[in-house]
Structure 1
Amino acid sequence: MGIFYDEIPSKPDLMGWIAKQKIFFVGTAPLSGDGNVNISPKGTVGSFHIADSTHVWYEDLTGSGSETIAHIEENERITIMFAAFEGAPRIVRLFGRGKSYFRGSPEYESYLPESAGRMPGSRAVVVVEVLRCSSTCGFSIPFMEYLKERETLDNWAAKKEVDTHFEVPLILPPTSDENQEDTPASTTTIPASKNDLRVYWARDNSHSIDGLPSLGTFINDRSSPPSKSKRCTSSSSPSHPPSFRLPSIRSVFSHAVVGGVVGGLVYGWEEGWIDVKMAVGLVGATGAWVVETMVGVPVPAPCCAMGM
């Protein structure tokens, strides 16, 4: 059975346990009912920090998308989950409200001053006010051995940062369909290098796959929401149910049975073959059969007899 707390407890020492984990998962969602729910795995040891029992934050690194930031900018809802892959089984969830602070903002600088040693590709900090903490079992989570950190992101981002001058205002270089004359220029500002990390953020992290503004709200750019062709349109993506769907054979048969029983009851009642008690019993039995057939939920015999 899960245990819930109003904060991250010191007994049991969940703070110490969280600090030892090598990976955590972040869940967010847009307010739109047909928007895409997002779950992001977060690695890199040392990126997650516990400020106190009700406040945590993590260094957000560059990725192929920016769903988490887009969602919490819209509605602040966020859940962070940790799972034990070694030792005693345990799953810990932190439910809360999140805020994101882009690199270069005063808030980002206060959490991650340059002297603190930022990770390659650091683009923001995500700060979460913990409203509830839960600790559950995790008996089905497999044992897995930690080998080492992947270096791909660090190496890629480090190369990008060589050509990134965060102190200089960003002006995007023209794309292939833009005229060079349309690009703002002066004696003090020139278009950024195509290898500038901020160019990647502006063009690939500006909006969520649902079109919600993300890093584009922080960057002075010409970014726009992704076109429908660039959004998640693969066959594995969730889609709206069709407006018309052929009924199943089970559904047709069930409706036919119900229609036959109702017609028989009406005719039998008019002819005097069926009294009230028999009618109630027949309606109850038919209803129970429909529930068991269509929903798969067995109905107790007393309920059938009582017409419930």
Structure 2
Amino acid sequence: MAKQFDAFTEDHRAFVAEQHIFFVATSAPGAHHNLSPKGMDSLRILGPNRLIWLNLTGSGNETAAHLALDPRMTVMWCSFGTRPLILRAYGTAKTLHRDDWALAQHFPETPGARQIFDMEVSLVQTSCGYAVPTFEGAQERPVLRSWAEGKGPEGLRTYWDTRNRQSIDGLPTGIEANL
């Protein structure tokens, strides 16, 4: 049932554009694997083998820490609508901090934006998704945006400094580049 592709097709891009959530997986030697759900208007496919996503402030910063040691990343979308489909993109990524922020032009101004991950996609795979349940009414939560706006730029820098410098395994995240 699974099909593999060297690059995103137009059908893949249309499917991604319809999804309200995606998942990002990374790992580093000796570290816990990390799998995070992501949302908001924070992902762009820039070409057949390239995607970027805007990383927003959260309780951790595992992806940045992992990519510093192992650039492998998997991004997954799964349909919760009537079309059963799972789409995965495999590749390598790098972390871009605010001193290298040119790609931010692809996203709306978003309070709490802390990094951009730039991924070179080497393999795209689809699978059936027949066992994934359907859901209705997906909508964006306003909580993160409100929280980040309330913190303001200085409050966010303080939060990054005190909460986002290390992964749960004590690995450096590189967030000091934004301080």
Match of 1:21 among 14, 19, 26: 19
Contact 2:50 2:118 in 1 (8 A): yes
AA aligned to 2:171 is L
Aligned to 2:142: 151
TM-score normalised per structure 1: 0.56
RCO greater where, 1 or 2, for CA within 8 Å and sep 6 or more?
Answer: 2
Match of 1:57 among 52, 58, 63: 52
Give the secondary structure class of the aligned counterpart of 1:112: helix
Separation in 2 of the partners of 1:43 and 1:92?
A: 16
Aligned to 2:73: 78
CA drift at 1:216 = 3.9
More strand by share: 2
Separation in 1 of the partners of 2:83 and 2:175?
A: 42
Match of 2:160 among 198, 201, 223: 201
Segments of 4+ moved more than 3 angstroms? none
Separation in 2 of the partners of 1:117 and 1:48?
A: 11
Match of 1:117 among 91, 97, 108: 108
Question: Structure 1 residues 18 and 200 mapped into 2: Cα distance closer, same or farther (>3 Å)?
Answer: same
AA aligned to 2:13 is M
CA drift at 1:219 = 4.7
**Alignment identity in percent?**
35
Question: Structure 1 residues 217 and 116 mapped into 2: Cα distance closer, same or farther (>3 Å)?
Answer: closer
Aligned to 1:140: 131
AA aligned to 1:144 is F
The structure with the larger Rg is 1
CA drift at 1:116 = 5.7
Contact 2:114 2:178 in 1 (8 A): no
Contact 1:4 1:133 in 2 (8 A): yes
Contact 1:101 1:125 in 2 (8 A): yes
Structure 1: runs of 5+ lacking an equivalent: 166-195, 221-308
Question: Structure 1 residues 25 and 116 mapped into 2: Cα distance closer, same or farther (>3 Å)?
Answer: closer
> After superposition, what is the alpha-carbon deviation per residue over 1:56-82, rounded to whole angstroms, capped at 9, x for unaligned?
001110000000111111111100000
Separation in 2 of the partners of 1:97 and 1:130?
A: 7
Aligned to 1:258: none
AA aligned to 2:173 is S
Aligned to 2:83: 88
Contact 1:66 1:215 in 2 (8 A): no
Match of 2:35 among 36, 39, 48: 39
Contact 1:202 1:219 in 2 (8 A): no
AA aligned to 1:38 is N
> After superposition, what is the alpha-carbon deviation per residue over 1:115-135, rounded to whole angstroms, capped at 9, x for unaligned?
963211111111100010000
TM-score normalised per structure 2: 0.94
